[in-house]
Amino acid sequence: MNIQTKRLAVRNLALEDCDKLFSVLSDAAVMAYIEAPFDYDKTVDFIKTCALCEPPKVYGIFLKANNELIGHLIFHLIRNDSYELGWIIAQRHWGNGYAGELTESVINYAKRKHISKLIIECDKRQTVTKHIAEKFGFVFTADEDNLSVYELELNIL
């Protein structure tokens, strides 16, 4: 996957990205509604098992201006022709509209790839994620294991 937005580039992660990704995934505020903050070894394992697998489940999010890794995009087949969409972004970059920018670009990418449905799962307390899902037309479908599930049916020609 290689997605370019106005300000961001989404591309494959490498082990060399571990230090920067660790700085994001070890932040308790970033991980508050996801899981316990990562230690360095868990970050290495995460890259190996989720980014270096084929096909990858996650991709790096980089600022185009300076090539800084600011988080990762979750995008992978979750069932049938439905793909999970999510993002984890460094706290110092919150409030810049990056999640919305990524969501819009991934929706367009999914349409080009003839993917029929996107799914966002988030903790019930993640109001920002819920807002972004609804802003882009995702429909709340269920609460599962403390997760709110939003789905977007894509019109594929």
User: What pLDDT, on the 0 to 100 scale, is given for residue 58?
Assistant: 98
The full set of domain ranges for the chain reads: 3-153
The answer to whether 153 and 115 are in contact (CB under 8 A) is no
**Ranges of the chain whose pLDDT falls below 70:** 156-157
Alpha-carbon span 44 to 90, nearest angstrom: 17
Which string of b and e fits 10-41 if b means at least 16 CB within 10 Å?
beebeeebbebbbebbbbeebeebeeebbeee
Per-residue pLDDT at 80: 86
48 touches 42 (CB < 8 A): no
- Cα–Cα distance for residue pair 16/44, rounded to 1 Å: 10
What are the φ/ψ torsions at residue 133 (nearest 5 degrees)? -55, -50
Q: What are the two backbone dihedrals, phi and then psi, of residue 97, each rounded to the nearest 5 degrees?
A: 80, 10
* pTM for this predicted structure: 0.94
Q: What pLDDT score was predicted for residue 157?
A: 54
What CATH number should be reported for the domain whose range is 3-153?
3.40.630.30
